[in-house]
Structure 1
Amino acid sequence: MASTCLVPHCRDTGSWADSLREVSGAVLVSGLIQLVLGVSGVCGWAARHCGPMVLAPSLSIIGLSAYKEAAFFCSTNWGVALLLMLLAVTFSQHLRSCRLPFCAWPHAWEGSRESSVPTLRMFSVLFPFAGVCIVCAILSYFHIPWESLDPAMAQLSWANSTFNAPWIHIPYAGEWRWPLLTPRALAVGIAMAIGCSMNSMGCYVLCGRLLRVPQLPPHACNRGLCMEGLGSLLAGLLGTLGGTASSIANTCATGLTQAGSLLSVQVSAVACMVLGMSPRLAGLLTHIPLAVHGGVLCVTYAMAVGTGISYFQYADIDSGRNIFIVGFAMFMALLVPRWFGTALTPLATGWAPLDLLFLSLLMVPVFLTGFLSFFLENTVSGTLEERGLLSEQPWKVRAGDCHLHGERGKASQAYSLPTGLRRLLPSSCKAFPCCFLCPRSEEEEEGSSATEEGTAAPGEGTHLLPKPSSGELQPAIRSSQTDMPAWHTVA
């Protein structure tokens, strides 16, 4: 926090600016480390060695980590938050099979159109969000008090006035002075990289699980982390106070809407770039009521908690070993940050950057859960059946062993590179270090055979919804998971 300066011509403003530059330096360091983790293949290696006893508590704690913020936002008006949650649950669960005849979507590879699509499920987050925002705007227009904010939050909500901001402003590197690299920035950047990488790994696994596609291959994890690292590098150079990372809320919204097309990701990316170059349009986001944010968090993060719990079915949860690992990891992940948040002098190693590094890591619940569960899972003895590592377990089914019925071809195509990008990449991309970012030769053979059979390559189809007669995703073992349409293309 910036301290109040009572002396004329004091230099507190300069030190505050230096602090912001130091944070940008931490973002820059975080992006560089994430890029190294992705290119070296460490991310993909870790993903292959995380079993159900690591994924289940980690995903569950990711969802539970936002309960304080969700409750804080909802407390401004619980009626608005509950209205949004009610509409989202109604559209995504009760009316998910409702088809509107006037809503059709073209198929790029056929030129045909669907007679109807499950529109309410597809927009089960957007429609409630827009409807509740309109209700709040109407109440504000008629000067009806509906939002309870303390003075500090009320001032923050209107801090960025959209009437004085320019319409177009293109940021450039060094505009707000260059990032400041200090030992403290290095320590915090390392902690940010580790925490963001684990959070992103959870997002990748969560997205695949919600869309019922096969196990995430290592090269897809590495590519995702590399792109996030490049984004954080650019964000640090532009002087921002936060890097790029996968969003749990967006991932869970994908599970609610079941819209896993590359087109949806591309459209959202273009929208974010437009907002970033228009301060006046971006300023409109500051006027979204906090209760609406709280309702969205409650609906989306609940999906992460439920998905994490679903992984327990693949391990022997009745085993005393597994009960101890799950209980201890999740309890300590909630206890340690709470203790460090209330302790007056939590750490005192004698070197401030080292204190910041340890404190930043120990304050992240997902890091504690993943570290403790991974450590205990690999040190406490247990059978393969207890640990859920049997080869016939559905969650371990490889991409080539799972197939799709219908026009989408094999499910192994879900994580392959888009056709246009594959054509641009030279043959030397398979050499080190790029070998960790490309699929293996057997996966490419599967992809080429699927294309020869007449299926559309990932990224070419712009459809979001399946045909009424299209088949369903049939995992090799579990027949209870065959109720999900096979039209997803995961980014």
Structure 2
Amino acid sequence: MLKSSYNRDTEVQGNLILASITQVVVGGLGLIGLILRFVGPLTIAPTISLIGLSLTHVVSDFCDKQWGIALLTVALLILFSNVMNKVQVPVPSFSLKRKCHMTTLPIFQLFPVVLTIAIVWLFSYVLTELEVFPNNSTEPSFQARTDSRLDILYDSSWFQFPLPLPFGMPTFSAAGYMGMLAATLSSIFESVGDYFAASRFSEAPVPPPHAINRGIFIEGFASIISGLMGAGHATTSYSGNIGIIGITKIASRAVFVTAGVLLVLWGVVGKVGAVLALIPDPIVGGTLLLGLGMVASVGISVLQFCELFSTRNITIIGVSFLMGLMIPQWLIENEAIVKTGSAELDQVIKVLFGTASFTGGFIGFMLDNIVPGTEYERGLKRWVEVKGSQQKGDEATLYSFPVLTSILERMRCCGYFPLSPTFTSCRRPRHLNYDVKNENIDLKDVKTESAGEKSETMAQQVTDPQDPPGGGAGQVEGVVEGVMDQTVFYPVDTVPPVNLMILFGLQTQLIIRSITLSVSNTLSNG
């Protein structure tokens, strides 16, 4: 029995490593960055929102243990983070210049989660001592007791250093790899949604493709380490933690690096991890309720870039959200109905479309790119303008390497490396920044007068009787070029229909005047 268990462990370990290597390749080659060229708000919104909405059953399972404690947690979080967030609390401080002194800090804004957990945990302890919660472990409210998992604290060791390959050399199988690969692909798309949500909460620029490529690459690399250390799961971003950013208003990388170091140390000290495991389930559920709710609302807020009065957009939003929730539930209830003739392919389909964020985002992506609509209607124009404006100036350094970026900028070859901050895609969408002559002028900066006014000005220029001899043809050519540029490269909804008539009329007049000029020159030379 033990040998069979170890064989399963080594197979899980090996297939996790193999699937994680695939994720590293996907991030390293910049494949996700290429897909993002066709992604707009109608894809991002369901992807982010369904991350939070699809986990309602998880939150419900935690809160169901004791709804009173869970709702108290939610109430205190809202109170501290939204009502008392501006309250300045005097605290002792020390500096070399002022020595010991008193200063004020917005404690409730900085530590709403810590304060809430501490207060509710203490309240649960009092109720446990008063025997308000049942002693019977079969009762749901038993998990609200602070002593429900004390055995974890007693059984855990003080120090435990993990060693690589604890179950032996990893083994591989096609079926196991496909199963892990399906989970990995689903995790990749969910992580992309998490990145956009984190940038919204942090009020940071929208993550550029090279930053998303690095995120996927590092998640894959960390998952390889997880497999080597014998963990049965990969490493990925967690939506609940992103929701905590919105609650605490703390998004400093220094804070998260410090938190990561502390987690590594606490992972070695077993007693610390055991203490954190003692937090009653209803408190965890209340924290997740607010955190995942904020993630869902951030996804919905992305829709502000779209034209929400458009029947097209309303249809896409409704279908993607509803299908994103419905298809995973249908697959759970009808798991045996997916039969393609390949067990591995069946597993991939079940895992991918069993993930609400992937399903909703995929449907939104397909409909947004298939159903006709203008760039303004789809939200691409405003989305691109926001991304472009945010990537200028000092804010662009947020996604750059602290020291290496200046070196990489001098190496032109790094511009083709998808993980480099200097990476630029090989192709550029026309609506981003395009000029037919120099390709360096933004059309929205060039268009200083309305399309109708420009067409009227062009018509006046063509019919102006004061044209100098011999210059009419060149002037008409310039006018034709201007009208053609406006008709072809400007957004369709800003070009008046009269432009087509002017264009054909100008072309005809250009031909007649050119022929007349040629005949006149021939007769003069003759």
State the distance in 1 between where 2:211 and 2:395 align: 14
| Alignment partner, residue 347 of structure 2 | 356
Greater CA deviation, 214-223 or 176-185?
176-185
TM-score for the superposition, normalised by structure 1: 0.78
Max Rg structure: 2
Instruction: Tell whether 2:279 aligns with 1:288.
Output: yes
Contact 2:416 2:423 in 1 (8 A): no
1:412 to 396, 400, 423: 396
Deviations 1:246-274 (A, max 9, x none): 11111111111111111111111112211
Contact 2:179–2:347 at 8 Å: present in 1 too?
yes
Residue pairs, 1:320-469, within 5 angstroms:
320-343=311-334, 345-390=336-381, 395-401=386-392, 410-419=394-403, 431=413, 435-440=417-422
Higher fraction of helix: 2
Which of 168, 176, 188 lines up with 2:159 in the alignment? 168
CA deviations 1:122-160 (Å, max 9, x no partner) are 111121012212222333344431698637997996496
Q: Secondary structure at the match of 1:304?
A: helix
Q: Quick one: structure 1 residues 14 and 180, their matched pair in 2 at CA, closer, same or farther if it must change by over 3 Å?
A: same
Picking from 60, 69, 89, the partner of 1:71 is 60
Label 1:438 to 1:426 Cα distance change in 2 as closer, same or farther (>3 A). Answer: closer
Change (3 A) 1:51 1:102: same
- Which secondary structure does the structure 2 equivalent of 1:102 belong to? strand
The answer as to whether partners of 1:43 and 1:221 remain within 8 angstroms in 2 is yes
Q: Is the 8 A contact 1:66 1:297 kept in 2?
A: no
Aligned position for 1:458 = none
- Counterpart in the other structure of 1:54: 43
* Aligned residue in 2 for 1:307: 298
Distance 1:143 1:190 in 2: 48
What residue in structure 2 maps to residue 228 of structure 1?
A: 219
SS in 1 for 2:365: helix
Q: Which runs of 4+ in 1 moved over 6 A?
A: 103-107, 151-157, 425-430
Q: Give the CA deviation at 1:354.
A: 2.0
Task: Name the structure 2 match of 1:125.
Answer: 113
Equivalence map 1:53-202=2 (5 Å) = 53-102=42-91, 115-145=103-133, 150=138, 158=149, 161-202=152-193
Change (3 A) 1:44 1:148: farther
Displacement, 1:48? 4.3
Q: Distance in 2 between matches of 1:192 and 1:428?
A: 39
- Tell me the residue number matched to 1:32: 21
Task: Choose between structure 1 and 2 for higher RCO, CA contacts under 8 A separated by at least 6 residues.
Answer: 1
Q: Is the 8 A contact 2:240 2:291 kept in 1?
A: yes
TM superposition shift of 1:46: 3.1
Following the alignment from structure 2 to structure 1, what is the Cα–Cα distance between the partners of residues 34 and 94?
39
The CA distance in 2 between the partners of 1:394 and 1:433, in whole Å, is: 23
CA RMSD of superposed structures (Å): 3.1
Deviation at 1:16, TM superposition (A): 3.6
- 1:226 maps to amino acid: F
User: How far is 1:181 from its partner?
Assistant: 1.5
CA shift, 1:349, in A, is 2.6
Between the aligned partners of 2:83 and 2:360, the Cα distance in structure 1 is: 34
**CA gap 1:394/1:90 in 2 versus in 1, 3 angstroms:** farther
Q: State the alpha-carbon separation in 2 of the partners of residues 57 and 19 from structure 1.
A: 36
Which residue, 16, 22, 29 being the options, matches 2:11?
22
AA at the equivalent of 2:47: S
Q: CA deviation at 1:62?
A: 1.0
Contact 1:34 1:225 in 2 (8 A): yes
Change over 3 Å in CA distance of 1:307–1:105 after alignment to 2: farther
Letter in 2 for 1:83: L
Report the CA distance between 1:430 and its aligned residue.
6.8
Number of aligned residues: 418
Question: Could you say if the C-alpha distance between residues 282 and 312 of structure 1 is closer, same or farther in structure 2, counting changes exceeding 3 Å?
Answer: same
Structure 2 CA distance for aligned equivalents of residues 226 and 129 of structure 1: 34
Q: Residue 5 of structure 1 corresponds to which residue in structure 2?
A: none
Q: CA-to-partner distance for each residue in 1:95-138, whole Å, 9 max, x for gaps?
A: 1111223266989xxx9x99533221111112101221222233
| CA distance 1:232–1:366, change in 2 (3 Å) | same
**Cα deviation, residue 49, structure 1:** 3.2
Q: Distance in 2 between matches of 1:388 and 1:148?
A: 55
CA contact (8 A) 1:24 1:239 kept: yes
